[in-house]
A and B are shown apart, each in its own frame.
Chain A
Amino acid sequence: MLEIKGVYKTFNRGTINEKRALSDLNLHLNEGDFVTVIGGNGAGKSTMLNVIAGVFPVDCGQIIIDGQDLTKLSEHKRAKHLGRVFQDPMTGTAADMQIVENLALASRRGKHRTLMPGVRSKEKNIYREMLQSLDLGLETRLTSKVGLLSGGQRQAITLLMATLKKPKLLLLDEHTAALDPKTAHKVLELTEEIVAKDKLTTIMITHNMKDAISIGNRLIMMNDGHIIYDVSGEEKKKLTTADLLEKFKTTSGGELDNDRMLLSND
């Protein structure tokens, strides 16, 4: 369903800060794949999600979803197909707007926006039920400004927003990294629940190797702007964190340079 073909991406071309973030990146996802992505700092994981979402143009290569070439499409047009949750809980929601208004905005992703009311009264009940299922006590705060909520609550709402209108592809960029362990666990559980319920095709970047192994049906490891290891099915289930570290050493010829990643290898 997703096809990334020979994508290159260079930042600050022609300056001393020139950095090739993606280098001949190729990836093919099947319908319903739940892929976890690991790799050191600066491996190009976030850049991969950003080029899928169209945050910036690629140097060359193609991004195809369900046979449609999105490479030249602007970010807001691609949003129709994509749900996104970001590492920073502030990024995914509009702080100055109410919880319902944020949800209503997200439910209109990919639709033409009209001069009809921004939130209809019958929507509110649907959102209230959804918030109830989050079990964060938000169902009574429908008209609160999102800016008043905690990072975990905002991230849970962003996740709802990303999946409210079923996306073809869900992109999660270390979306639990900024949360405390308990909240992170909760948001991760919620993620698995939603993905399973809606059978969403998902790419999830994580720095936690245990999560990367236990969640999803496929795991890819990135280094230096491309995929160095791609494993799925039974083989993935049998992986251990030690295997991953070993794999990294042999394929990249170096240590996994990410301290954070080694630390979360518990």
Chain B
Amino acid sequence: MCIAGGHFVRLLHFLEEKMNLLASFINIFNPAAFVASLPGAVAQGIIWGIMAVGVYITYRILDIADLTVDGSLGTGGAVLVLCVTSGMNIYLALLLAFIAGCLAGLATGIFHTCFGIPPILAGILTQLSLYSINLRILGGKANVALSVDRYDLLVTLRYIPKTILICSIFAVVIIAVLYWFFGTEVGHSLRATGSNRNMARANGINTNVNSIIALVLSNGLVALAGGLLSQYQGFADVNMGRGAIVIGLAAVIIGEVIFGKIFRNFALKLLAAVLGGVIYYIAITFVLRLGLNSNDLKLFTAIVVALFLGVPFWKSMAASRKIRKPDEKTTGGAENA
């Protein structure tokens, strides 16, 4: 009796603790503040959506997960800050950021095709070397500021509506150019390379060159997004690309899950990746408002991506189990007979 009573008291304590936690969540979550932070989430989401379009090229078209992007995003940011602070025109600086990313992709492509290194490891090698290179670009400093007061920036968190407009224009132009490119003879040969390398070679396609082109293009776009991001946040940081691949994949996968059924056209699929980035950032803003510690954000993202990647796999497992069942019955019947 006495022991049971002790249990009961402990249970009450436990429940009270949980209720307090819930109450504190509700206190913290302020709908008005959440709505106020939405425009910033959209702006960042579009920038990361452009990055996700780069990831789409390697992950979906070439069919490899390229980890170079964790480094090339920072390269883009660092190159832009270096160029702008030394007085260069902002568009030219973005172009150079793009080209720097292309070179990073070229390095991974060469590691993969000429050194025979598997694509994931090739990407990790470039990513690692980019850490040193990005530090050098930033003049040995881990973080370099880019003040909107001193330089003529295209995007900044100070003027979010303008940022959303400019980033949307960038996204639309990039999607239009890629839509055209992947409809050309070269573009088709890239898609064939990703879909079936044996078939591609049998039809005279140089799959090594194509893998390199896709990696170059992808990392160029990622670095361009890095250039936009460093303007937006007002600084470049050697660590700004850490975990970028996971965010890019999150955007691609969220876009596919939500828009996959309705967006059939290739341009719309790319658009879905951009929208996926926006939705991702809105979701992140939401959970942060709910009280998630921002230090736990990367853990949260990784778990979400793992779940989204797992769902199609579990679905196919369930589907194949369904197909197997009637067979088992017939063999069982034969044994009984």
> Does B199 sit within 8 A of A, measured CB to CB?
yes
> Does B126 sit within 8 A of A, measured CB to CB?
no
> Does A16 sit within 8 A of B, measured CB to CB?
no
**Listed residue (B184, B185, B198) with the most chain A CB atoms within 10 angstroms of its CB:** B185
The answer to whether residues A97 and B195 also contact, given A75-B201, A109-B203, A161-B203 and a CB cut-off of 8 A, is: yes
Task: List the A side residues contacting B186 at CB < 8 Å.
Answer: 113-115
Alpha-carbon gap, A75 to B209, bound state (A): 13
Query: CB-defined interface of A67-104 with B at 8 Å, one 1/0 digit per residue?
Result: 00000001111011010101000111111110001001
- B residues lining the A interface (CB < 8 Å): 181, 183-189, 191-192, 194-196, 198-207
Of A92, A104, A111, A115, the contact of B199 (CB 8 Å cutoff): A92
Q: Is the CB of B184 within 8 A of A115?
A: yes
Task: List the B side residues contacting A105 at CB < 8 Å.
Answer: 188-189, 192, 203, 205
Task: List the A side residues contacting B207 at CB < 8 Å.
Answer: 76
- Chain A: interface residue total (CB-CB under 8 A): 34
CB closest chain-B residue, reference A91: B198
Q: Is the CB of A91 within 8 A of B184?
A: no
CB distance from B102 to the nearest CB of A (A): 17
Query: CB-defined interface of A161-184 with B at 8 Å, one 1/0 digit per residue?
Result: 100000000000000000000000
Task: List the B side residues contacting A74 at CB < 8 Å.
Answer: 206
Task: List the A side residues contacting B206 at CB < 8 Å.
Answer: 74, 76
> Does A108 sit within 8 A of B, measured CB to CB?
yes
Question: Main SS of chain B's interface residues?
Answer: helix
Q: Is the CB of B185 within 8 A of A116?
A: yes
Would you mind naming 24 contact pairs between A and B with Cβ atoms under 8 Å apart? Answer: A53-B202, A76-B200, A76-B204, A76-B207, A79-B203, A79-B205, A80-B204, A82-B202, A92-B199, A94-B191, A94-B195, A94-B196, A95-B195, A97-B188, A97-B192, A105-B192, A105-B203, A108-B203, A109-B203, A110-B204, A113-B189, A115-B184, A116-B185, A118-B187
> Does A106 sit within 8 A of B, measured CB to CB?
yes
> Does A117 sit within 8 A of B, measured CB to CB?
yes
Alpha-carbon gap, A106 to B199, bound state (A): 9
Task: List the A side residues contacting B205 at CB < 8 Å.
Answer: 76, 79, 105, 113
Q: Is the CB of A79 within 8 A of B201?
A: yes
Q: Is the CB of A91 within 8 A of B204?
A: no
Q: Is the CB of B188 within 8 A of A101?
A: yes
Task: List the B side residues contacting A96 at CB < 8 Å.
Answer: 191, 194-195
Q: Is the CB of A94 within 8 A of B204?
A: no
Q: Is the CB of B202 within 8 A of A108?
A: no
Q: Is the CB of A76 within 8 A of B191?
A: no
Kindly list the 6 A-B residue pairs having the minimum CB-CB distance in the complex, ordered from nearest.
A118-B188, A79-B204, A94-B195, A113-B185, A96-B195, A109-B204
Q: Is the CB of B199 within 8 A of A76?
A: no
CB distance from A88 to the nearest CB of B (A): 9
Alpha-carbon gap, A192 to B202, bound state (A): 21
Q: Is the CB of A114 within 8 A of B185?
A: yes
Task: List the A side residues contacting B188 at CB < 8 Å.
Answer: 97, 101, 104-105, 113, 118-119
Give chain A interface residues in 182-234, CB to chain B under 8 Å. none
Q: Is the CB of A106 within 8 A of B184?
A: no
Apart from A79-B201, A113-B185, A118-B188, 19 more pairs, CB < 8 Å: A76-B204, A76-B207, A79-B205, A80-B204, A94-B200, A101-B191, A104-B188, A105-B203, A105-B205, A109-B203, A111-B204, A113-B189, A113-B205, A114-B186, A115-B181, A116-B185, A117-B185, A118-B184, A119-B188
Task: List the B side residues contacting A117 at CB < 8 Å.
Answer: 183-185
Task: List the B side residues contacting A115 at CB < 8 Å.
Answer: 181, 184-186
The answer to whether residues A94 and B192 also contact, given A53-B202, A76-B205, A77-B204 and a CB cut-off of 8 A, is: yes
CB distance from B191 to the nearest CB of A (A): 6
Task: List the A side residues contacting B203 at CB < 8 Å.
Answer: 79, 105-106, 108-109, 161
Task: List the A side residues contacting B198 at CB < 8 Å.
Answer: 86, 91
**Listed residue (B181, B185, B187, B203) with the most chain A CB atoms within 10 angstroms of its CB:** B203
CB distance from B25 to the nearest CB of A (A): 44
CB distance from A15 to the nearest CB of B (A): 18
CB closest chain-A residue, reference B192: A94
Q: Is the CB of B185 within 8 A of A93?
A: no
CB distance from B124 to the nearest CB of A (A): 27
CB closest chain-B residue, reference A79: B204
Task: List the A side residues contacting B187 at CB < 8 Å.
Answer: 118
CB closest chain-A residue, reference B187: A118
Alpha-carbon gap, A84 to B202, bound state (A): 7
